[in-house]
Structure 1
Amino acid sequence: MEQIRACVVGATGFAGVEVCRIVLGHPDLELTMATDRKAAGTRLADVYPAFEGACDLVLSLPEPEAIAQNADVAFLAVPHTASLAITPQLLALGVTVIDLSADYRLHDAAVYEQWYGTPHTSPELLGQTVYGLPELNRAGLLALGERHEKGEAVLVAVPGCYPTATALAAIPALEAGLATGDLVISDAISGVSGAGRTPNARTHFCHANESVEAYGVAHHRHTPEIEQTLTQVAGREMNVVFTPHLAPLTRGLLATVYMTAADGVTANDVQDAYERRYANEALVSTLPAGHMPQTSSVAATARAQVGVALDDRRRRVIIASCAIDNLGKGAAAQAMQCANLVLGLPETQGIGATAPLI
């Protein structure tokens, strides 16, 4: 089989370089181009010496015509609005786009504009985009694959890290009707790499080390994305209270979700629903009753682990906790999982199965 040519746009960011690493180890993909506006003309290995001897690519500017000449698929590991500037051109030039930014995740352009404070310049693409959470939208990704096989360039919007963990924690309870009402509360903690490569006062070592803080309280931009996903799952409009926290970790994310239990629901009902829902998912595991996930178990992998409990003391709350790697299942590895489905490859091809043991 001829290798599929891949370009990583935004290759020096934490998510972008993780995509580069995965592509380099993928048996069916070849990293033929990597771009970065600020580091153009510099070898990727000079920015990240771990690539010395493994990758000789020189970073270039993200010019759509050059990408189309060198790649069949482009992974866009860029901030919001950067994808708006390049994705329509790439699609028109026949390049399939796996977009890790927020630009095409929300179905409603007006909602995007409200939360991101900028006009959405290609709303016509939103109806053609599949939200790339395979455990929820696998059929849609496979449908994109059929279009891609016929020669059409297609677009995947890879979910954010917080929305991924929150959704995986909530999906089984909502799908099975075990949770009632329209409110979901998500308390989530992420490692510092989730803030990106460029440091700021909050992510500087001296500030972040030995400290945990909430941020973006009541107005974090992932809120409408989570609400959109949970509304799809529940079949009714869902409201989300989402509070992210920054922890002194390099990588890793833990989301603990609270939902009101329906009348008569037992702890066994909840455990059984989660075990059944994820029994055939290659990258999501439900832990045994009484066990909760930890970030170290999934660090540097594409995996997610979920643990559940029922607080039956007073208000009968379903508590579901999901651990992922924010750069793995929360970004680069999930992007590759989506790409595999679209490109007609085995879903877990080229992405790791287990975490380092120490």
Structure 2
Amino acid sequence: MKIKAGIVGAAGFAGAELTRLLLRHPSFELCAITSDALAGRALAEVYPAFAGASDLVFSKHDKSVLADLDVAFLAVPHTASLAMTPELIAAGTTVVDLSADYRLKDPAIYEKWYKVAHTSTDLLAKAAFGLPELTGDELASAAARRAAGEAVLVACAGCYPTATSLAAAPFLRAGLVEEGATVIVDALSGITGAGKKATERTHFCFANESVEAYGVGTHRHTPEISQILGLAPGRLVFTPHLVPMNRGLLSTVKMPLAKGADAPDPEELAAIQQRFYANSPLVEALPAGKLPKTASVAGTARAQVGVAYHAEARMIIAIGAIDNLGKGAAGQAVQCANIIFGLDQTEGLTSLAVGV
């Protein structure tokens, strides 16, 4: 018996990528795709790439459509999950949420950054954070509860937090970063990370041949990155940039070496990342002298991490590359769902990047 799955918000870029992954997944059966705007239209009509692969038709976000699912993937805008998730959990459906609504452990921090009251703090307290390489214990606990018959909630990490945290975590957890020092992150994302609806920032004519910083000092992923990495408020300076490519995300993290620590050599730093991710099949830690690039992970749920050392500044510079729709969204959601349902975490996920 296959695991019955549905995607709420399947018309967006992350939803379409989820659709692609679940249609060919050996253990999940995609039974429902929803979009209020596209209800009644065939998947292959909206996305011709699916022609011949599926006869699914978009439905409205209706309870009856989502009834009897084992798992619902929510690829919906932030705050929308607050209205849907409690009902799905109450109906016995496990939820894998791609939005930010259940990521931040402290509801007061969520309300500060998202400007809306958190209406289901009981579920927030139970949600497992979905970044398997760094929060595997939370996911394992949720998997055990689901196996015992409980519908569980996974709040998947965002794209910027994923690339940033995977790059930086090994050095912070090893105690190599100066305590209390400012951590500086400069990250670049492809246009699909901004969502499907064209705006003055993302319309082709405005975004093409242009790179732009945005959300400087105010981006909502700031507290999420701080939470994952254990950074106190005000310690992180995060600056995202929009770059004119479809998909891909590169994050560069600059961390001051701890006072009194001997200057590390490049091989030593690379070995720290390699040991940290030795049992993480979807993270490739590169050898000294090599650094990540988005083309190496395009179309996959993999991440590449690498590191360099700036001797004069005594600065560790860690870099992470992901596909923002893959490891940054849909691929990570499937990886988390695999874990929750007791499958191999790589099942249904390709490790082969798009070559050109």
TM-score range, shorter chain: over 0.9
Instruction: Tell me if structure 1 keeps the 8 A contact 2:189–2:248.
Output: yes
Aligned to 1:161: 159
**Does residue 150 of structure 1 match 2:144?**
no
- Structure 1 Cα separation of the partners of residues 130 and 93 of structure 2: 17
Q: Larger deviation: 136-145 or 16-25?
A: 136-145
Question: Is 1:251 the counterpart of 2:250 in the alignment?
Answer: no
Distance 2:192 2:255 in 1: 29
Q: Does 1:301 align with 2:300?
A: yes
Q: Is the 8 A contact 1:188 1:255 kept in 2?
A: yes
2:223–2:233 CA contact under 8 A, matched in 1: no
Match 1:260 to one of 248, 256, 280: 256
SS at match of 1:220: coil
TM superposition score normalised by structure 2: 0.97
Are the structure 2 counterparts of residues 48 and 355 from structure 1 closer, same or farther at C-alpha, using a change threshold of 3 Å? Answer: same
Amino acid corresponding to residue 257 of structure 2 in structure 1: A
Shift of 1:61: 1.3
Identity of aligned residues (%): 57
Question: Distance in 1 between the 2:152 and 2:82 partners?
Answer: 15
Give the one of 335, 341, 344 matched to 1:343. Answer: 341
Q: Using the TM superposition, name which of 127-136 and 264-273 deviates more.
A: 264-273
In structure 2, the residue matched to 1:116 is 114
Counterpart among 236, 239, 243 of residue 240 in structure 1: 236
Given the two structures, how large is their TM-score scaled by the length of structure 1? 0.96
Partners of 1:68 and 1:94 within 8 A in 2: no
What are the within-5 Å matches in structure 2 for residues 1-358 of structure 1? Answer: 2-69=1-68, 71-182=69-180, 183-231=182-230, 239-262=235-258, 263-267=261-265, 268-313=267-312, 315-358=313-356
Secondary structure at the counterpart of residue 210 of structure 1: coil
Aligned AA (1:199): A
SS at match of 1:131: strand
Tell me the distance in 2 between the aligned counterparts of 1:172 and 1:189: 21
**CA separation in 2, counterparts of 1:118 and 1:204?**
28
Tell me, in whole angstroms, the C-alpha distance in 2 between the residues paired with 1:237 and 1:205.
36
Aligned partners of 2:59 and 2:65 also within 8 Å: no
- What secondary structure does 2:220 align onto? coil
Number of equivalenced pairs? 352
What are the Cα deviations for residues 276-304 of structure 1, in whole angstroms up to 9, with x where unaligned?
A: 11122101011111111111111110110
Deviations 1:102-130 (A, max 9, x none): 10000111111110111111111111001
5+ residue gaps, structure 1, are none
In structure 1, distance between residues paired with 2:6 and 2:263: 48
- In 2, the alpha carbon distance for the partners of 1:31 and 1:238 equals 43
Query: C-alpha distance in 2, partners of 1:265/1:129?
Result: 40
Ranges of 4+ aligned residues in structure 1 off by more than 3 Å: none
Contact 2:271/2:287, CA 8 A, preserved across alignment: no
Shift of 1:64: 2.9
- CA deviation after TM superposition for structure 1 residue 68, in Å: 2.2
Measure how far apart 1:35 and its partner are: 0.4
Q: Which amino acid aligns with 1:348?
A: T
SS in 1 for 2:269: helix
1:178–1:265: 8 Å Cα contact kept in structure 2? no
Query: Matches of 1:289 and 1:272 in 2, distance apart?
Result: 8
State the distance in 2 between where 1:327 and 1:213 align: 20
Retained in 1: the 8 A contact 2:131–2:156? yes
Q: Would the aligned equivalents of 1:230 and 1:238 in 2 still touch at CA under 8 Å?
A: no
User: What are the ranges of 5 or more consecutive residues in structure 2 without an aligned counterpart?
Assistant: none
> Any idea what SS the aligned residue of 1:180 has?
coil
Q: State the Cα deviation string for residues 123-159 of structure 1 (Å, max 9, x = none).
A: 1111100110000111211111111111110000001
Quote how far apart the aligned CAs of 1:356 are: 1.9
How far off is 1:305 after superposition? 0.5
Give the letter aligned to residue 328 of structure 1. G
Look up the SS of the partner of 2:255 in the other structure. Answer: strand
